[in-house]
Structure 1
Amino acid sequence: MTTAELHGSYGGLYFGFCTLISHVLLAGITAAIVYKCLVLKLVHTAGHAFYCTIAFVFFMGEALLVRNSAYLESSLGPLNLNRLHAVLGLLAFLVGVGGIGIKTWQKLERKREDPNATVRHFKSNHAFYGIIGCALLLGSVLSGLPLYFINGGFTLKMLHRFFGLVGFLTLMVSQMFGYNTGFGRRQWKAHHQKLFKFFTFIATITTANYEFRRFVRDVAGLATYYFIGPDAAEAREDL
């Protein structure tokens, strides 16, 4: 076995292990929060937490993972894998916007019921990173859709990857801040909040690290193309 093959073997084991950890953590975090929200009958903030967790933690995390799955690519084929990736990304955006809309509507209703009530929109760290992440996710959706109808070129594909990766990281930061909100403090004890933060952080790293590696490689390829020439950079064929 050559050095390159040995490194490739170790790399495959490492990223495969990270993918397994990601699937378990994304599903576990989502299941725990969804269960709590269902127990609360999706009343008030529980509805917001229910939809946003499903969208931004599970759907978006899985959208990144499945796109980089060699097993799924060989089983489904590149076209169907791209479709699965697109469906998960679109669901993340639509369901997530619904979750944000629920919280915004509740605040507006509170203001109507009590005009003197202090209602703040997108002022907390949780809300700020959430709306920024949602905007980045919208950028990922808008840059990704044309790739199924036209040959968008390497730059558009890299832009799509940038929006998706940074959007996921931003939304997971919002998720971690969410454990500190009044809802999080009311529903979970302090040590449970710390566990949620820890597992969310690990899930963020294990889910994003392969996509981050590919993005850095693409940036290097693009820089090589512009500064050295097209013969020195290979165009990528996947999203």
Structure 2
Amino acid sequence: MENPNTIISSTRTDYGSTTHANTFISDTLNSDSLTIVTAAVKTTASVSQRFSTRSTESNRRGSRVSAVGGYQSLPNTSTGNLHNNRSSRHFKMSMDTMPNSETRQIVQRLEFLFSVINQICIGFVTIFMSWLCLRTGLAGTALHAWLVTIGYSFLMAEGIMSHFSGNVLTFNYKRTTKTTIHWTLQALGGSLGVAGTLIKLIQKGFTIYSTHAKLGFAAMILCAISMCSGLIALFSMRLKRTLNPLLNKSFHNLVGVAAFAVALVAQYYGYQTGFFSRKVDTDFQILMKVITLLSLVLTSIGPLQALYHKCINIYRHFS
């Protein structure tokens, strides 16, 4: 039996024997690794062959379904292509709708600007006429002028503006709230306007000669008709079997705009009467006329737009 120290010494000094042992171990490992790799390659090839076979069968089934149902696969239907197509369509739609949205924003800003200017005009006429009539005392012509100004120029104008989408005072209100504000202000304004006109007619003994008087009388008649048609329009859904709601509301819209326009034109000619001309100078008369006409135009934008759409709906309904 050899000494262990001798074995260790030979192992440390005999490089040839150690190299031979390492070569033997390496060859053994290489042969085992080659065996494992070969087995893995065979397994992979088998799996790939099975997968290709299943894919071929699926394609055959798909072709059979295509032949039966007449379905044709669309080109470029991968997920990436679909995502790109959707993105391009969304971008195209955004580019197409961008000018319309910008135009709509510009129109809305102009409507708000016109509404603010109109509120200033209404407030100026109402405040000045109230100050002028109250200073001279609410009797006779002063009472007539104050009632028609509050009724037509203030309450009726605000009632008409309540449904306007660009009105800075009511644009965020609900439809029902706007309707309530509209008929309330219209009823109050129309009543005051008719009362003011009747007071002056009684004073004059129902003699109508001047342009101001004729227009005032016409405004009173139109206002009464507008209030009656508005009352019917308020219950239009209950009366839809008897009267077409679209026709009724269109008629109310038309008569209401006409009554308001005639009333403010009558007030325009009222600035030329002796009651007003004796208390203010000529330049201020011109200013009041311009402001009144400007208020008439700006207030009529909303109802004229609504009347236009109603006429289109009537044409489509009966054509």
* TM-score class, shorter: 0.7 to 0.9
- What CA distance in whole angstroms lies between the structure 2 residues aligned with 1:3 and 1:219? 28
The gaps in structure 1 that reach 5 residues or longer are: 109-119, 228-239
Q: Which residue number in structure 1 is paired with residue 160 of structure 2?
A: 64
- What CA distance in whole angstroms lies between the structure 1 residues aligned with 2:235 and 2:304? 26
| Contact 1:15–1:210 (Cα < 8 Å) also in 2 | no
- What CA distance in whole angstroms lies between the structure 2 residues aligned with 1:196 and 1:73? 28
| Contact 2:236–2:248 (Cα < 8 Å) also in 1 | no
Shift of 1:64: 0.8
Q: Does 1:97 align with 2:183?
A: no
Larger Rg: 2
Q: Which residue number in structure 1 is paired with residue 280 of structure 2?
A: 188
> One-letter code of the match for 2:296?
T
Q: Does 1:202 align with 2:294?
A: yes
- Structure 1 consecutive aligned stretches of length 4 or more whose deviation exceeds 3 Å: none
- What CA distance in whole angstroms lies between the structure 2 residues aligned with 1:140 and 1:23? 23
Q: 264, 276, 281: which one pairs with 1:172?
A: 264
Count of aligned positions = 215
> One-letter code of the match for 2:192?
V
| Contact 1:130–1:174 (Cα < 8 Å) also in 2 | yes
Shift of 1:216: 1.8
Q: Does 1:81 align with 2:178?
A: yes
Q: 25, 28, 47: which one pairs with 2:121?
A: 25
> One-letter code of the match for 1:129?
L
- What CA distance in whole angstroms lies between the structure 2 residues aligned with 1:188 and 1:96? 24
RMSD after superposition: 1.7
- What CA distance in whole angstroms lies between the structure 1 residues aligned with 2:233 and 2:312? 22
> One-letter code of the match for 1:191?
D
Q: Which has the higher contact order (CA 8 A, sep 6+)?
A: 1
CA deviation string 1:96-155 (max 9, x = no partner):
1211122123224xxxxxxxxxxx722211111111122212122111112333415111
Shift of 1:193: 0.5
| Contact 1:18–1:207 (Cα < 8 Å) also in 2 | no
| Contact 1:37–1:50 (Cα < 8 Å) also in 2 | yes
Q: 187, 202, 218: which one pairs with 1:132?
A: 218
| SS of match in other structure, 1:193 | helix
| Contact 2:163–2:178 (Cα < 8 Å) also in 1 | yes
- What CA distance in whole angstroms lies between the structure 2 residues aligned with 1:18 and 1:64? 14
- What CA distance in whole angstroms lies between the structure 1 residues aligned with 2:208 and 2:271? 16
| SS of match in other structure, 1:67 | coil
| SS of match in other structure, 1:6 | helix
Shift of 1:84: 1.0
CA deviation string 1:79-110 (max 9, x = no partner):
222111001111111111211122123224xx
